[in-house]
Amino acid sequence: MAHSTAHHSAFTFVRSEFIDALNATVQEFEHTVTGAKHFHIASENDENVFLVGLKTVPTDSCGVAHILEHTVLCGSERFPVRDPFFMMIRRSLNTFMNAFTSSDWTAYPFASKNKKDFHNLLDVYLDAVFFSRLDELDFSQEGHRLEFEEPENSESDLTFKGVVFNEMKGAMSSTTSVLWQTLTKYLFPNNTYHFNSGGEPTDIPDLSYQDLLDFYRTHYHPSNAVFMTFGDIPAETLQAEFEEKVLSRFERLEEQVVVPNAKRYFSPVRVQEGYAAEEVKEDASHVVIGWLLGESIDLNQQFEAQLLSSVLLDNSASPLLRVLEGSDLGRAPSPLCGLEDSNKEMSFMCGLEGVKQEDALQVEALVVSSLKDIADNGVPQSMVDAMLHQLELSQREIGGGSYPYGLQLILAGLSTAVHSGDVIAQLDLDPVINDMREKIKDPQYIPELINRLLLSNAHRVTLTLSPDDALEARRNAAEKDRLSQIKAALSDVEKEQIIARSAALKERQVQVDDMSILPKVGLEDVPARLPEYDSAKVSANLPITFYPQGTNGLVYQQLVIDLPELDEEETQYLPLFSSVITELGIGEEDYLAVQERQAQVCGGLGASNSIRPVIADRQSLNAYFILSSKALVPNVKAMTELLTDTMLNVRFDEVGRLKELVAQRRARREQSITGQGHSLAMAAATSTFSGLALQQEKWGGLSGIRSLMALDDAMKADDSAVEAVLAVFKRLHEKLLKANKQLLLVAEAQHETAIVDEVTKLVAGLPVGELDTNFALPAEDSKTKVAWLTSTQVNFCSKAYRAAFGDHPDVAALTVLGGFLRNGFLHRVIREQGGAYGGGATFDGSSGAFRFYSYRDPRLTETLADFDASIDWMLNEEHTEDMLEEAILGVIGSMDKPGSPAGEAQSDFYVQLHGRSLAYREAFRAKILAVTIDQLKQVTKTYLTEQNENVAVVSATSKREELEALGFTIQAL
């Protein structure tokens, strides 16, 4: 499919190429005057995406690029309102809006399926990025500021405040973040990657407002920018807006922003640093070995490094990962294992966590000797072929999930674009895959890569990061001491200035802007109908549902099994069973052979559970176990054989393998706490509202993490604990084999007959269901007030209220209420005034709970009080129809967010399976559109009451006494 190369007269056409694997044309243009690049991915897709990226190269860890990213979105020349970014989220049908700071670029992307909305957002984004006001008070709010703890009392203690300051306190509470920042500090001794682009909390207060302005002037210029777009709006139309709104006002900037290459070491470096921990355990160190490789914009170097990383680390059969998983020196492979290719120069990392500090050199020796062994003995050709197959699969797959497909493509090319590489080559991997296919025919190719890129590469850093139970106290003391010294040196005039700025900021935060200057969409722009998806039902040994979708040559297959009645042990271990069943052996094959087989024929196997309450009763459930895979069409037979073989013949005798998998799962779950503390707090607050909510907290909440830690410890101590779990798995498996089954297939329409015929034959061997009792959980309805304590510099707060459920008439108003409270009250008091990175409210339909939350929050009791204050605000203030419309638009936008073609088909299948028909969903949508302010007040009054309230927080151990005094039940990991 050819697309027009028509372009605006201010741009020069550079080249264009149709990429078969993406079914899209990638076009490159350059703005004649400024040199700004425009890459347009022309597609028939109606979800249009825009991104402007700027090369941002900090020279310290003050967080200038990150704070600028926040402050840029706080008002601009044509839209001089205080918070256009968050206001546009409410006035838009966007499918994605955000801004990112990477280590060497800052990007401002959005996406929308509505053309009017797309152009509205483009207008605001272009003005925000290139003509930002950068008000000093916004810098104080978003970056950092000094305030007295009692804002009007200059005798009270000073404190640091600021959204980014608290965001980074939260981010750097994550050991994985500390590990990454510390390793790159040593891997890159002299360029921008040496520094923390997000900002170190200890350094952020050093950034001045003038520094911010200077950085903006040199970096936020079209000559340092790349525009990237995707969708069915022609490049010429987009360029006309770029030229009119921005580019016509700039000349070319002669001075280029560059990232110099890192100075290379002539011999390996070993370093040791610490991370904050509650207690010092002897086996809690991280040991990571990192190598600096070549440039990522050299596609051959990048692909060589990707292939090598995949061959060494892709799955448990990969030779280096196999050594790391099997080693007694540590608990699990490091979360940093793999290739980092988003920086200008790539790095390869591997190592272990849960290591004794004194064993660090043994870990290094193990890695180096394993690499020598692999280089000496080579790698089976089948394994190298399988990794190339995986790269081809990832190239062809149309993604979904949290990012629109077009944005995924843009992000895949962004780093290359920012560093002036070949974006079209980066997106069209078929030629380089074909080239690689020839290279790997040489059995010495992989050994030669190991020798060249790793073994003979002297730029190697071995980092040991060990727990330090005094680090947090030293850091807090240093901050306190710094603030005391600042206060002691303040003149009376300076004290008055701090008080005056606090008052001015507070005044600015409560001012009501004229929002009419911002463009908007209205309820009249909302599509009236939901999309319908074609599907065909095939009656065979197992019922088969086939969805024809544009999947770009892939087949998605899911075996869906009614979850049978389980005992308490089987229920508790269900998620663990699901996470390991595809990681074990099958029949005569051990798990290593199965991992190789998976890599050769499909994009991996996965298992999951889909459990939802029935519409009429929050305590009754529909529940399914799902075994999933995807493959290229020619591999459908091999994939289906693998799927059925796994279901029929999975082995439950690999004791050592289960121990490894539990240790790895524990490591991942422990590392996730500070990144998803708000979700964990909400799960804890909601846990007593239904049997499913309680069980989900035991599975995926902090209780679940604690249980997993205890299980891992028990398994390390005694193999009988492993045998006991395997015995539960066998019982679970036998019940699943006897349960009712069906199959879901998604592929392109032209392949339907061949795929269904092939699959029907292959699944005939699966036993027909003979169980008629279904999964159930004991009902639960009680109250809780719980505080979970862990190693964190910030808090995560939640209140939950038992509310209406299912098809109750109040559910629509409760769904709209979350956005209404966030937009009108919570965003201002929790984020802007309170300094948390985020906060809001949301209705959880699966548990019938209305939930408040805050994220990376410096406050605790004040935030809980703000949740209550928002209820008073809702009930006692007058509210406008505009505010209601914005809240409704937000709900509709999230309901209408498109997924990938396969993802949308799968979603349609499951909502119907759970009894939510298209008619039911359209009726609910109509109720959302009809919600009134009186209904919002009524549901607030009815449900958001003290007797319906649960409270949960995730906080620091140092807060124990304060929380006990407030009546919290204390829980610790």
Catalytic positions are 69
- Please state, in angstroms and rounded to a whole number, the distance separating the CA atoms of residues 925 and 785: 34
Question: In 3D, which of 28, 127, 95, 747 has the Cα closest to residue 407?
Answer: 95
Question: For residue 292, is it left (φ>0), alpha (ψ between -120 and 50) or beta?
Answer: beta
How is the chain split among helix, strand and coil, in percent rounded to 5?
A: 50, 20, 30
Longest CA span, the chain: 86
Angle of helix 691-700 versus helix 677-686 axis, rounded to 10:
150
Q: What is the DSSP letter of 455?
A: I
Burial of 245 per CB tally in 10 Å (0-12, 13-18, 19+): middle
Which CA distances in Å does 128 have to 77, 134, 505, 872? 8, 10, 21, 34
CA atoms within 13 A on the CB side of 177: 21
Centre a 10 Å sphere on the Cβ of residue 950 and count the other Cβ atoms it contains. Answer: 22
Strand bridging mode 949-956 / 785-790: parallel
Strand bridging mode 969-972 / 785-790: parallel
- Please state, in angstroms and rounded to a whole number, the distance separating the CA atoms of residues 568 and 157: 53
Question: For residue 914, is it left (φ>0), alpha (ψ between -120 and 50) or beta?
Answer: alpha
Question: In 3D, which of 34, 4, 479 has the Cα closest to residue 254?
Answer: 34
Q: What is the DSSP letter of 826?
A: I
Given a contact cutoff of 8 angstroms between Cβ atoms, the answer to whether 345 and 264 are in contact is no
Angle of helix 719-738 versus helix 636-649 axis, rounded to 10:
120
Structure tokens at 173: 């509470």
Given a contact cutoff of 8 angstroms between Cβ atoms, the answer to whether 338 and 617 are in contact is no
SS3 annotation, 865-920? HHHHHHHHHHHHCCCCHHHHHHHHHHHHHHHCCCCCHHHHHHHHHHHHHCCCCHHH
Q: What is the DSSP letter of 584?
A: S
- Please state, in angstroms and rounded to a whole number, the distance separating the CA atoms of residues 827 and 823: 6
